[in-house]
Structure 1
Amino acid sequence: MTETIALHTRLKPGAAAEYAEAHANIPTELVAALRAAGVSDWRIWRSGDELFHLVEVEDYQTMRHALADDPVNVVWQERMSALLAVEDDYSGNDRGIEQVWRLP
């Protein structure tokens, strides 16, 4: 069964263009690492400096743990930390944004 996880991150002021450029050129090794960790889809929307992610993944916590020390992901996270207002937590203990309603 696949989980759908929503995440929220925030860009540092003035980082939108560099963030967009980075995501226009995702390393193929990172895509492979995400897929190997169970991610089937990851979409990101931006409103100003606010970023909203929707992740389709087999098991979110397992994915986070698997990527925590992956060398390709570590390099990517270092690049993203220069652009994001808050560092990402790869403890695997978060559950993303709480869903409060869904159309029945």
Structure 2
Amino acid sequence: MTESIALHTRLKPGTEEAYAHAHANIPPELVEALKGAGVRNWRIWRSGLDLFHVVDVEDYQAMRHALADHPANIPWQARMAELLEVQDDYSGNDSGIQKVWELP
């Protein structure tokens, strides 16, 4: 079973182009790590500096724990830390944005 998790992050002012460039050039080893950790899809939308993510994953907390120290994820997270206002610690203890409603 796959769960969908919504996330919200925020860019540092002036990093919009660098963020778009980074995501246009995702390292293949990171893609493999994400897939290996159970990610089926990860979509990101941007409105101004706000980023909204929807992650379809087998087990969100397990994915976060699996990627926390993964050698493909460590440099990626370091790069994102340069671009995002707040970078999480990849603890896996969060559960994303609370879902309020879904079309029945």
Shorter-chain TM band: over 0.9
Indicate whether 1:32 and 2:32 are aligned.
Answer: yes
Percent of aligned positions with the same letter in both sequences?
71
AA in 1 matched with 2:72: V
TM-score (norm 1): 0.99
**Post-superposition offset of 1:93:** 0.4
TM-score (norm 2): 0.99
Across the aligned residues of Structure 1 and Structure 2, the Cα RMSD in angstroms comes to: 0.5
List structure 1 runs of 4+ shifted beyond 3 angstroms.
none
Q: 1:32-76, CA deviations, whole angstroms, 9 ceiling, x for partnerless residues?
A: 000000001000000000000000000000000000000110000
- What is the aligned partner in structure 1 of residue 100 from structure 2? 100
Quote the Cα distance in structure 1 between the aligned partners of 2:94 and 2:6: 11
Quote the Cα distance in structure 2 between the aligned partners of 1:15 and 1:102: 33
AA in 2 matched with 1:12: K
Structure 1, unaligned runs of 5 or more: none
- What is the aligned partner in structure 2 of residue 83 from structure 1? 83
**Post-superposition offset of 1:88:** 1.8
What SS class does the counterpart of residue 97 from structure 2 fall into?
coil
Quote the Cα distance in structure 2 between the aligned partners of 1:7 and 1:68: 17
**Worse-superposed segment, 72-81 or 84-93:** 84-93
What SS class does the counterpart of residue 86 from structure 2 fall into?
coil
Quote the Cα distance in structure 1 between the aligned partners of 2:97 and 2:43: 15
- What is the aligned partner in structure 2 of residue 51 from structure 1? 51
Quote the Cα distance in structure 1 between the aligned partners of 2:12 and 2:82: 8
Indicate whether 1:66 and 2:32 are aligned.
Answer: no
Q: Number of matched residues?
A: 104
